[in-house]
Amino acid sequence: MLHITSHSNPTIKAIRALRDKKHRRDTGLFMAEGLRICAEAVEAGQVPRQLVYAEDARAHPLIEKLAGIVEASGGTVIETSRDILHKLTEKDNPQAVVGVFRQTATTLEALDRSTAAIWVVVESLKDPGNLGTMLRTCDATGAGGVILLDASCDPFSVEAVRASMGALFTRTVVQTDGPSFLRWLRTGPGMLAGAALEGARDYRSVSYTAPTFVFMGNEQSGLPPEYAEACDELVKLPMLGKADSLNVAVACAVLLYEVLDQIRR
Amino acid sequence: MLHITSHSNPTIKAIRALRDKKHRRDTGLFMAEGLRICAEAVEAGQVPRQLVYAEDARAHPLIEKLAGIVEASGGTVIETSRDILHKLTEKDNPQAVVGVFRQTATTLEALDRSTAAIWVVVESLKDPGNLGTMLRTCDATGAGGVILLDASCDPFSVEAVRASMGALFTRTVVQTDGPSFLRWLRTGPGMLAGAALEGARDYRSVSYTAPTFVFMGNEQSGLPPEYAEACDELVKLPMLGKADSLNVAVACAVLLYEVLDQIRR
C-alpha cells in the first residue's frame, strides 16, 4: 500500500492524465469515481489496477474489502488526501474512492447478440453524459449494451463513466463504423428500429422482435438518410410541443421501455 | 444599440453575474444562450430585456429581426466580440447570441391545472440539467410544466435553461413546498402518481386520468415516505439490472409517455 501526499507524485499525475482522451487511448486505462461504482465493477468481475482512497475513509469496511481484493489481484492500493482526490476528480466534494480500470471494449466479431433481447446503436453521439445515461438505461431494461458508430464520444471518459452509474461495467460497449455494423447485423437475426421524424411510424404501433437494435442518431442531426434507409422500421415518439425534439438519452429510454414491454408480454 | 469591447464594462459584468444564483434572485433576471432559444422565447411572448450578439454575426437576418423586436420593446441591444461572449457563457464555442430575460415563475394560486392533461412535480431535485431535460420532455408530451418542491435547484440557472432547449419559455414553472402543493392539489381534480420502488404497481398497469401529476423524488433518495403516502398511486418501472436505478429525467420521460399514450387513447 502506497501513502501519497504529494500532488506531483508521478503515480497521481498519471492517474490524473486519464481525464485526457489521448492518455486513455495510449494506456488502455480509465478512471471511475466512487465507492459504489468501484464495488459494482468488482462484482461484475473487473478489479481496478489501482485503487485510490481518502485517508479519512480508511476504516470504511467496504474500502478495506476492496483494497484487499485489489492487492490480492496484484493491483496497487494508494492512500491519499481528500485534496489530492479533489485534484483527480475535479469535484468540489470528491468521492472517497477512485479506481483505475482496464478498458474492455468488445469487437463486433466477439459480440454475441443472443445474450440480450435489446441492443442500442448510436451514430456519432457527441455527449458522454448522454452515453452514460443510455448505458444506465440499458442496465435497467436488460439491454445488452451500446454499439457506438462513427465519430461517437469516448465511453471511457470521466463524464460517461459517471453518468453510467456503474453500468459501463455490466454492459457491453462496441466501437465501430456504420458500414461494418450494418454488414455484421445482417449476418444474423435482428430488427433495426431507427428513431426518426420523417417517414416514421408511431413507436407504439410497431411490433418489435428480439433481438431489436434501437438505432439513435446524434444530438444535432438525427439519423443520416443512408442509415435510415438501412432500418427495418423507422419509429417516432409523439412530439406535441414546439421544439420537436427530445434529449437523445430520453428518447432512447422511452423506446427501450416500449420494446421491453412488448418482448415481455 | 451599444457596442461593447471591454471585459470590465459594467453591463457585461452584470450579465455575467447572472451565472450566480444570488444575483439572479436579487435582480429577478436570468440568461439564455443561443439564437434559436432566444427566438423561441420571443415567439412564446418573452422578449429579452437585453440582447447580446457577436459582431461577426451582425448580418444574420434572425439576429437583425430579434434586435428590432428588443429595441421596439424598450430593451437594450449590445454588439460585442466572441471573446466577451465566451466570458459570458464560459463555453469554448460560445453561441452568437445571449438574451437576458425576466424570471416568470408562477404561483400555485395562479396555476390553472386545466390547461394541460399532465403535470410534473419534483421534490428537492438537485441537478439543473435534469430539470431542463424534464422541461424539454414536458414540451414534447404536452405536459404543462414542472412544480418544484422544497429544496429544488434553480430553474433559471444557465445549466437548466440550456438543457431545456427553450422549453423553459413555453412551460410553466412553480416553486413551492410540499405541504402547500398537497393542499392546493386537493382543492381540485388531479391524480397524483408517484414514482417509487416499494409498494408500487407496474407503471403500465395503472389507469391515469387527466390531469395526472407525475411526482418524482430526487436523484439520491427518491420520494420521502410522507409524500409517497399522499399519492393516489405509486408506480414503478421494470428494473432488470443490478443498479435498480434510472436517471430521474429518463424515468420521468418514460412515465410521461405512458400517461400521454393512455390519455390520447
What single-letter DSSP state applies at residue B199?
Answer: T
Q: Output the pTM of the full model.
A: 0.95
The complex's ipTM works out to 0.94
Indicate the helix (H) or strand (E) that contains B87: helix B82-89
Indicate the helix (H) or strand (E) that contains A235: strand A233-236
Q: Do A254 and B249 touch (CB under 8 A)?
A: no
Judged by a CB distance cut-off of 8 A, whether residue A243 touches chain B is yes
Q: Which residues of B touch A238 (CB under 8 A)?
A: 140-141, 257, 260, 264
Rg over alpha carbons for chain B, rounded to the nearest Å, is 20
Interface test with A, best of B203, B237, B242, B247 (most A CBs within 10 A): B247
Mean pLDDT of successive 10-residue stretches along chain B, which has 265 residues: 90 94 96 92 95 93 94 96 89 86 94 98 97 97 97 95 94 97 98 95 97 96 95 97 88 98 93
CA distances from A206 to A203, A212, A254, B202, B246 (A): 6, 12, 14, 22, 25
Mean pLDDT of chain A: 95
Poorest-pLDDT segment among A77-86, A197-206, A236-245: A236-245
User: What confidence tier does A150 reach under pLDDT thresholds 50, 70, 90?
Assistant: very high
Confidence at residue A97, expressed as pLDDT on a 0 to 100 scale = 94
B144-183 residues touching A, CB cutoff 8 A = 163, 165-167, 170
User: What confidence tier does A235 reach under pLDDT thresholds 50, 70, 90?
Assistant: very high
Kindly state the greatest CA–CA separation across chain A.
61
In chain A, % of residues over pLDDT 70? 100
The cell numbers describing B231, all together, are: 399519492
- Are the beta carbons of A218 and A122 closer than 8 angstroms? yes
Confidence at residue B18, expressed as pLDDT on a 0 to 100 scale = 96
CA angle B4, B98, B59 (to 5 degrees): 70
Residue B30, beta-bridge partner list: B101
User: What confidence tier does A47 reach under pLDDT thresholds 50, 70, 90?
Assistant: very high
* 3-state SS class at A99: strand
* 3-state SS class at B219: coil
Confidence at residue B94, expressed as pLDDT on a 0 to 100 scale = 76
Q: Do B241 and A167 touch (CB under 8 A)?
A: yes
At A148, give phi and psi (nearest 5°): -95, 120
Confidence at residue A38, expressed as pLDDT on a 0 to 100 scale = 94
CA distances from A81 to A39, A77, A228 (A): 21, 14, 51
Judged by a CB distance cut-off of 8 A, whether residue B238 touches chain A is yes
Rg over alpha carbons for chain A, rounded to the nearest Å, is 20
A265: pLDDT strictly greater than 90: no
Interface test with A, best of B246, B255, B258 (most A CBs within 10 A): B246
Q: What is the mean pLDDT of residues A200-227?
A: 96
Confidence at residue B246, expressed as pLDDT on a 0 to 100 scale = 94
Residue B194, beta-bridge partner list: B215, B234
Indicate the helix (H) or strand (E) that contains A173: strand A172-176
Distance CA A111, CA A126 (A): 23
Distance CA B195, CA A165 (A): 20
The cell numbers describing A97, all together, are: 474512492
Judged by a CB distance cut-off of 8 A, whether residue A40 touches chain B is yes
Digit-coded pLDDT (tens) for A85-109: 998 888 777 788 999 999 988 999 9
Indicate the helix (H) or strand (E) that contains B264: helix B248-264
A178: pLDDT strictly greater than 90: yes
Distance CA A137, CA A131 (A): 10
Judged by a CB distance cut-off of 8 A, whether residue A16 touches chain B is no
Confidence at residue B256, expressed as pLDDT on a 0 to 100 scale = 98
